[in-house]
Structure 1
């Protein structure tokens, strides 16, 4: 008897900076979500679609769930992550090694309303210096919820991600594919261009500034066999503008150069990228400003 085709949505959830986006990129086989060492790098829910002859797995990468609610941007991130739990077929709850924090408890509380299977993925196992602690820690985690499976992984190296994918596949419903076989994300190239610029900024800024900046694409057009991209970098304080630009514009040039290289890889064509830094005071605390800058659930 022929194996029936499977297709379904799989939400990756967890507190900030546990490696959800790195896991997504590995499982899909290409860069869909931007990554950095900073918490809350992911600000939007993004689909990463993996299709083969047996199944189509639609991974939903989500912003990190966290207890902080003081700013409009924090409330948006939590709404985006929570909304992604609706109508999915499987949840992958990602935690970090043997480090269990208050935000992990908060995520677990959010999952109480979820009726679909939940797989617990214990990421960054390579950072656990005393491996003898891992097994008892897994045993303790297993008491927190009736998880479909508990799977230690290392997203950085890809270790055991094949086991994670296999566990997901078994839990998907029988269904025809929802997306064309060559589609790998629901997001537009325009959106991905903005994210690539923001990734480079996150990786080069100090502790505070990345959370007060965002990127908006003002122009995205192919002319004379090349893609012309104009990106506006919005900062929340006027004092941040010279820091983003850097001495004699060097930091902004580095960001532009690295983002352009990634765009050319992603889009498969020559890219001319221009960056401008502008100030929108307090945008991260303003619901209307957030909406105008693309922080809404239907943005793409």
Structure 2
């Protein structure tokens, strides 16, 4: 029996080596580095980005013109690996990066990144959808953001906005140094971190992952995870009401002594108050 298992293992390694060698032989290693600079028909109100594969970075540029920079590398059949489609219609910038070759689903063979540098403008809407890749939005101002990613991480940093709606199926979410009225962050498999975030109303939820909230300050927050821990630090006074819930995990809260921490149900208190509940876990409370 052991000999059969050993033969199967050796055969698998040999087959994998042959496939890898064929991939290297058939698919050449190709790099793409293109920079597009174009004037905008101001005023620009909205930006919509839709990618099949690849990372998306949206940031502010010192250039008064729009800058789109594409970087790609990996094993491909030819040099014509992707096509950039962009246009400006009625104040909306449309950007799409399409893969011209079959996607093998092996991230080790591909690396796409599209950088969008915007001049100093106040956008109404930012809409970004990515199937396989990460999203980073930083140093811009907008009213509403609708972000969707199936497989990848999302990072939002140094943002002033009104509403942020984010859905991530498989990936982690980081929200850093951001001011907004409403935040709705939802992840299925991934951790969510919010640090130095100011808001009025917040809903933060993950199914399988941890929540880390460090000075995520707002009037109302409902944060929950099914399988994961919750870590909260509040070292600034605010008239807040938080509801923290996990089914399988611990809750650790470090807060000012003026903030009441409630670990049992059936009672209500005026703010500032944090309600913490876990079904299978512990609640640990520390005072700053």
Instruction: Decide: shared fold, TM above 0.5.
Output: no
Instruction: Work out which of the two has the higher radius of gyration on C-alpha atoms and give 1 or 2.
Output: 2
TM-score, normalized by length of structure 2?
0.26
Which structure's residues are more often strand, by fraction? Answer: 2
Which structure's residues are more often helix, by fraction? Answer: 1
TM-score, normalized by length of structure 1?
0.26
Q: Which structure has the higher relative contact order (CA within 8 Å, separation 6+)?
A: 1
